[in-house]
Amino acid sequence: MSPLRSWFIIPRGSHFSLANIPFGIISTESSKTPRVAVAIGDHALDLEVFAANNGFSALSTIQPHQDVFSQPSLNAFAVLGRPVHSIVRKYLQSVLAEDTPYPDVLKTNSTLRRQALIPLKDVKTHLPFKIGDYTDFYAGLNHAYNVGVLFRGPSNALQPNYKHLPVGYHGRASSVVVSGTPIRRPNGQILSNPLAEKKVPTLSACQKLDIELELGAFVCKPNSMGEPVPISEAEESLFGVVLMNDWSARDIQAWEYVPLGPFNAKNFGTTISAWVVLADALEPFKTKGLENDSKVLPYLQERDENTVYDIQLQVSLKTKTGNSTTITKTSSRNLLWSFPQMLTHHSITGCPFNVGDLLGSGTISGLEQSERGSLLEQNENGKTSIKLSGSEVRHFLEDGDEITITGVCGSDEEALVGFGECVGRIEPALKL
């Protein structure tokens, strides 16, 4: 299939081709109230302005709901449901297409083009959803195995439950921030001498600050308490996907996590990319996840065998000196569980979901050293060092380090479906 072409200039290699149309929240210097937009090429299309100027006049479905584009989050748009998201995306594609059946809407309407199409460099992006609850899973099999080997050795690397259910834990919704937000190195209790028999913690700035390369998925359909989401309906409950960096304080985690799991090690910041790629846009890039050699219980069995996305993921680390090194390249197909499986398992107890709830995939690592999605795995818990370009090395993150995750689907430079960037820079800890 030849790619959709636009009358609008979309640079070759743009993550935001006409095949994509991701949604986000923007504001500008001249109009500071956050509102809904889509990204197209190097521009944002301001949907509040677009709607106010009859941009949706040909789309009767959305007309009674146009106020959703004036909201400071995508929650109200998401509530409308996947069939509506799909119609809106297709309509915007057709408005932007070279041979648009609606030339008057934007193509020949230079006034609205000037008002509604804003260079991305001139927009500030905001957290796309008001997040009710955030859950982080652990579905990256290779990551779970690598970490298991570090702490329990290869024969007990994976816990007995790992291949039967998507292991997860409740995260901290309040600390999820949009790409670009600085991350302050956390203080916390750590053991300066973990091997000492008497465990005496100190309060210290985190010495083992790490990243976790993940995907996040937003929920667009609520379920009532006591009513699980069947696997056959889970797909319809998922709005779209973002890149995620689940910053982790490994030394705080090691001391605190027994017996109730990660807590302060994870609640000082989780960064997500600004543009949410709709599930529809990712549909062509579905593929098989990792093989599960355990028999999965029927409530988690999916009809289709292609259940995870093949997103080419990359992590780069830029130091204070300006040196940038790609430290990880992998694919999001390295997951044992799909987002529908996570949602179905999470709700099997009757746990209620609200629109805007966020599911994290867990750290994604491939099999090779260069495919590992956390520094902990790359440096074997601090034993080896990670070589950066130039003569710099890293064990864990230093102040001033900037981490950028990118993710993109497809190979046709004119039809990429990408996520843009998920960026965060480490600021020094508060002085104690």
* Residue number, 26 or 252, with CB nearest to its own copies: 252
Minimum Å distance from CB 212 to its own copies? 13
**109/374 Cα distance (integer angstroms):** 48
Using the minimum distance from each CB to its own copies, give the nearer residue, 146 or 316.
146
* 288 vs 308: CA distance, rounded Å: 6
Least distance in angstroms from the C-beta of 137 to its own copies: 9
CA atoms within 13 Å, Cβ hemisphere of 114:
3
Half-sphere exposure of 63 (CA within 13 A, CB side): 8
What is d(CA 253, CA 149) in angstroms, rounded to the nearest whole number? 17
Which among 15, 43, 85, 143 is annotated as catalytic? Answer: 143
Q: Which is nearer to its own copies, 5 or 130 (CB)?
A: 130
Minimum separation from the CB atom of position 427 to its own copies (A): 8
Beta carbon nearer to its own copies, 1 or 196: 196
Looking up tokens 């495919």 gives 371
Q: Which residue lies nearer to its own copies by CB, 96 or 177?
A: 177
Left (φ > 0), alpha (ψ -120 to 50) or beta: where does 403 sit? beta
- Smallest gap from Cβ 186 to its own copies, in A, equals 4
The residues binding its own copies (CB under 8 A) are 132-133, 138, 159-161, 164-165, 167-175, 177, 181, 184, 186-189, 199, 201-203, 225-228, 249, 252, 255-265, 267-269, 297-299, 345-346, 348-354, 357, 427, 430, 432
Whether 164 is catalytic is: no
- Bridge partners (DSSP) of residue 35 are 26
Min separation Cβ 167 and its own copies, Å: 6
For the bound state, the minimum distance from the C-beta of residue 197 to its own copies, rounded and expressed in Å, comes to: 10
Q: Which is nearer to its own copies, 297 or 393 (CB)?
A: 297
Catalytic residues, by residue number, are 143
